[in-house]
Structure 1
Amino acid sequence: LHAVELASRLGVSRLLVPPDPGVLSAYGMLVSPVRKDVSRTVLLGPDDAPRIDTVYDELEGEARRAMESEGVDSTEVDTDQLADVRYRGQSFELR
C-alpha cells in the first residue's frame, strides 16, 4: 500500500511485491508456533521467597488451560519461567 511512496523517498527504483502478500501473512500466522504469555505483579517481602514457586505453578496452570482452550494438548506445552524484579521504589526491572 505504501511501498511506492516509501521506495521513492528512499531512492529505490525497483520493488519486489509477492503475488499474494496477504496470503503469505495468513500462512505465517498458521505455521507459527502457538505461544501464550501470562504474567502477574507480585509484591514480596524478604520472607516471602517460598511463595514464588506457588505463583509460578498458578501461572503455568493458567497458561496450560489457555492453550487447551485453543485445542493444544497440554502434554505438548513447554513452559519457561522468567522474573522481572526490582526493589520497592526502584524505577527499573532486573532480569
Structure 2
Amino acid sequence: MKTSRRNFLMLSVGVGSSLVLSRAAFADSAGKLSEADPKAQAVGYKEDASKVDKAKFPNYTAGQTCGNCSLFQGKATDAYGGCTLFGDKQVAARGWCSSYSNI
C-alpha cells in the first residue's frame, strides 16, 4: 500500500498531538505528592493545612502553608510546586508538613 506524503503528515500530526496530550495529563497527576506516601506520612504532610491535627503537631500555627515555606520551589501563585524534601514530587501550596520553615 502506497502512502502519500499528505497521509503521512496527517497521521504524524494526529499521533504527535495524542502523545503531547497524554504526556501533559500524566505529568499533571503523576508528580503530585500523596498523603499516603511514606515520606509524606513521616512529616505529617496534609494537602490542606486546615486539616492538620494540632494535637499531634503542636508546632503548627494558622497561616503556615507550603506556599509560604522556604522549602517550596513554586511561585506564590502556583497551586502545586516542588519541595526540597520530596524530590520530583509536587506539594500543594495550601498544604503543610512538620518541616515547615519560613527562614
TM-score above 0.5: no
Structure with the higher strand share, 1 or 2:
2
Q: TM-score, normalised by structure 1?
A: 0.26
